[in-house]
Amino acid sequence: MTSTSPDVKGRVAREVTRRGAAGVEPGVASGTPVESDLGWALGVVFRRYAKAAAAALEDVPGGPRGYQVLATAVAEGPRRQLDLAAQLGVDRTVMTYLLDDLEKAGLVQRQADPADRRARLIVPTAQCQELLCELERRLGTAEDEILGSLDEAERSSFRMLLQRVAMKANAIDPVHNACDLAEEAIDRA
């Protein structure tokens, strides 16, 4: 635990992102002095969750991303390929590869949109529905493990606070604007 750092000055030893906004590798925290740091804790928890989720979704083509496509397609009904890409924040070319794999696995089908023959509607198969139920279960288990150090009351408190922070973060960041896109999609339908 870098247990050898009595000379840390203030928050200088903080752990920021542990990999920038683009890296991948795990990275480990360095211990005592940094553990009071938000960025460090956030990074550790997030990566732990990401790792657990990736493990739970290992057999899904495209991993977590593939899962998101399936979940969205099931939850919101058949959607056009490009809308799906925009909503999930993935590049449209990536979406092509992703769907190639998912289709090959028999989890979705590409159907021509009767309203616009250029577009393809992504429709989940029955097999997809089944799989999602199982994945749901696994992800729930993973969540519980992550929050294992908190009792029930703390857990719900933590979830609530995190939710509020997330809501604000999401509101501030005008990223891809899935909301607007979704809205448009309704109008179009």
Partner DNA sequence: TATTGTTATACTCTATAACTATA
Partner DNA sequence: TATAGTTATAGAGTATAACAATA
Regarding 159 and contact with its own copies (CB under 8 A), the answer is: yes
User: By C-beta, is 155 or 176 nearer to DNA?
Assistant: 176
Tell me the sheet residues that pair with 111.
121
User: By C-beta, is 29 or 123 nearer to its own copies?
Assistant: 29
Q: How far is the CB of 106 from its own copies (least distance, A)?
A: 19
In the range 108-127, which residues lie near its own copies by CB under 8 A?
A: none
In the range 56-115, which residues lie near its own copies by CB under 8 A?
A: 57, 62-65, 67-68, 71-72, 74-77, 87-91
Regarding 93 and contact with DNA (CB under 7 A), the answer is: yes
Binding segment for DNA (CB under 7 A), chosen from 50-58, 70-78, 88-96, 138-146, is 88-96
Q: How far is the CB of 81 from its own copies (least distance, A)?
A: 16
User: By C-beta, is 24 or 117 nearer to its own copies?
Assistant: 24
Backbone CA torsion sign across 89, 24, 50, 133: positive
Query: In Å, how far are 99, 110, 111, 114 from 118, measured between CA atoms?
Result: 16, 12, 11, 9
User: By C-beta, is 106 or 140 nearer to its own copies?
Assistant: 140
**Binds DNA (CB under 7 A): choice among 120, 131, 135, 139:** 120
Regarding 9 and contact with its own copies (CB under 8 A), the answer is: yes
**Which residues, 6 or more positions from 128, have their beta carbon under 8 angstroms from its beta carbon?**
70, 73, 74, 107, 108
CB 70 within 8 A of CB 60: yes
Query: In Å, how far are 63, 81, 114, 123, 133 from 110, measured between CA atoms?
Result: 19, 9, 12, 7, 22
CB 119 within 8 A of CB 81: yes
In the range 35-74, which residues lie near DNA by CB under 7 A?
A: 65
* Cα 145 from Cα 49, distance rounded (Å): 9
* Cα 64 from Cα 59, distance rounded (Å): 10
**Binds DNA (CB under 7 A): choice among 44, 71, 119, 181:** 119
**Binds DNA (CB under 7 A): choice among 1, 2, 5, 23:** 23
